[in-house]
Amino acid sequence: MVTNLLNDRYQVIRTLGAGGFGETFLAEDTYMPSRRLCVVKQLRPIQNNTQIYQLVQERFQREAAILETLGGATDQIPSLYAYFSTEGQFYLVQEWIEGDTLTAKVQKQGIFTESAVQEILVNLLLILEYVHSQYIIHRDIKPDNIIIRKRDQKPVLIDFGAVRESMGTIVNSQGLPTSSIVIGTPGFMSSEQAAGRPVYSSDLYSLGMTAIYLLTGKQPQELATDSHTAEVIWHNHARNLHPLMVEIIDKAISYHPRDRFPTARGMLEALQSLASPIAPTQGYIPPTLPPTPNTPSRPTVPVDIQKSHHNQKGILIGGLIAIGGLIAGGVINQVFTKSPQTATNTDVSVSVKRSPVVDTTDSPTINANSTNNPEDNKPAQIKIPADESITNSVTSPVTQNSDNNYSWLSERPVTDADLAGKTGYELDIMRNTIFAIHGRQFKTTELQEYFNQQSWYIPKYSPDEFPNNALSALEQVNVDYINKYQDRYNLRHFSK
């Protein structure tokens, strides 16, 4: 047992768990006035081998930096507060997530509905898209490592295997350190990961097996496998599922990586093609994502930070999908669309509209130069690649062709390039347009007067009555992103 006060700062409250490479504690940060709760992971490397010890130390620092980056980009990965070493042992201090794991949820409440599973999958795929864009493979996705946060019911992905790999590094037959080791949980782990060679779709396999557990209550070891194909047999345990949902999960858990979705985005788009998908709780979409590299050969870096071996074909699914779902017991209508892509070769024109949505905080968004031109209410003519036919149309209160149109904030992630050069006034309008689209009114008189002048604006909710779950996951992410951008550069016109 460790001393009660770690690093002369963290007061241990109780042990949360223990394993082969250390223990995990719930602790209080005595340096903070709030004495905030945190998780302290004690990692114990092998000390009788100098070479291994040095490697562990180097990887510990690198992995801590990775976790700091990931946790700072989304609130659905715990933030890294600190890392330190003392008496030959290493410690990570992370945000404490109050809530139940998916395992605990199933044990308490029974199996999940299909719509609830779909909501969780969408949220987690948004997180994985960002994680993979940073060349990181989680490698231990399972119900125990997904917490439904108590305060907002968001799924939070915890316990990144990349950190624990440094503690399990072994020496090969030549006496040299190797990181090609098995990290993961049997049953939720793909065959290539079990062989020490995980790829991005290995995480999707684990996510698919997690979905099966939520739908059936069956652990992977309780499910049979096909003796010829090695595919998991699970359909007989989950009745009345949408055929496309079954097909998506089957593809995710295909035995061979080439038969799976090559990217999280591909699986996400497939889920969005369901006839009545549930809208995600306010999940995460990375504001700007570097493309996943298409590298034909295996990179000479640790497997958890390797680049993708797959081409990013994804699945070309009809563009704008109307989504309706139950969230927090209320029915809301949302639109979940693909991020726009550059048109190539032959283009076709389609009319696109979007119906109003709903939101909760004083943070909507629109451009400062909006006009009352009736032409702005006409469906816009946008161009898409000929191979991506749009089968569904959705109405939009904000015109697609207006210079002051910010309706795209409901359709794709915002980037710094979208915000660069804008004044504080423009950014405030832009951010609050997201809320105005859903009919929110504002306490700030000048802000309210601005939206009253917009022909598309239909006030429905007072600031205090605006539904907390009105924004889609993408819209909430964009609101947060603009907020942080404004804080970073001190660009505000109205009070926050």
pLDDT in tens, 152-198: 999 999 987 544 443 444 444 455 555 444 567 889 999 999 888 89
pLDDT for 420: 86
Q: Which of 487, 474, 181 is nearest to 337 (CA)?
A: 474
**208 and 253 in contact (C-beta within 8 Å)?**
yes
| Residue 355 clears pLDDT 90, i.e. is over it | no
| CB-facing half-sphere around the CA of 428: CA atoms within 13 A | 18
Q: Which of 137, 37, 128 is nearest to 76 (CA)?
A: 128
| Residue 373 clears pLDDT 60, i.e. is over it | no
Residue 342's pLDDT band, with cuts at 50, 70 and 90, is very low
Cα 345 to Cα 327: distance, rounded to the nearest angstrom: 40
**190 and 205 in contact (C-beta within 8 Å)?**
yes
Token output for 86: 């003392």
Q: Which of 165, 190, 191, 195 is nearest to 178 (CA)?
A: 165
* pLDDT: which is higher, 289 or 268: 268
**Rg of the Cα atoms in the chain:** 24
Output DSSP code: residue 308: P
38 vs 30, 95, 145, 294, 298, CA distance in Å?
11, 5, 17, 38, 38
**99 and 126 in contact (C-beta within 8 Å)?**
no
Place of tokens 């905080």: 361
* pLDDT: which is higher, 354 or 491: 491
Please state, rounded to an integer, the average pLDDT across all residues of the chain.
73
* DSSP string covering 119-152: HHHHHHHHHHHHHHHTT------SGGGEEEETTT
User: How confident is the model over 200-237, as pLDDT tens digits?
Assistant: 999 999 999 999 999 999 999 999 999 999 999 999 99
* DSSP string covering 85-101: EETTEEEEEEE---EEE
pLDDT for 45: 65
- The reply to whether 41 sits in an annotated binding site is yes
Token output for 64: 């801590």
CATH of domain 100-165+175-305: 1.10.510.10
CB atoms within 10 A of CB 249: 25
Segment holding 225, helix H or strand E:
strand 224-225
| Residue 442 clears pLDDT 90, i.e. is over it | yes
User: How confident is the model over 45-90, as pLDDT tens digits?
Assistant: 666 677 766 766 776 777 778 788 888 788 899 999 998 888 878 8
Token output for 473: 């996951």
> Exposed/middle/buried for 291, CB within 10 Å: 0-12, 13-18, 19+?
exposed
SS3 call for 181: coil
Q: Which of 339, 320, 327, 351 is nearest to 474 (CA)?
A: 339
Which span out of 199-203, 383-387, 403-407 was modeled with the highest average pLDDT? 199-203
* pLDDT: which is higher, 266 or 377: 266
CATH of 321-489 given 3.40.50.300, 2.40.100.10, 3.30.70.360, 1.20.58.1690: 1.20.58.1690
CATH of 5-95 given 3.40.50.720, 3.30.200.20, 3.40.50.12160, 3.10.129.10: 3.30.200.20
Active site residue 140: yes
Point out the catalytic residue in the list 140, 159, 418, 480: 140
- Global pTM exceeds 0.95: no
Q: Which of 27-41, 213-227, 360-374 has the least mean pLDDT?
A: 360-374
Token output for 360: 């909760």
pLDDT for 496: 57
Which span out of 44-53, 128-137, 164-173, 399-408 was modeled with the highest average pLDDT? 128-137
Token output for 462: 């007072």
CA angle, 126 then 128 then 132, to 5°: 130
**402 and 371 in contact (C-beta within 8 Å)?**
yes
Which span out of 240-244, 299-303, 311-315 was modeled with the highest average pLDDT? 240-244
> Exposed/middle/buried for 143, CB within 10 Å: 0-12, 13-18, 19+?
buried
Of all residues in the chain, what percent carry a pLDDT higher than 70? 65
Q: Which of 277, 282, 272, 275 is nearest to 467 (CA)?
A: 282
Residue 476's pLDDT band, with cuts at 50, 70 and 90, is confident
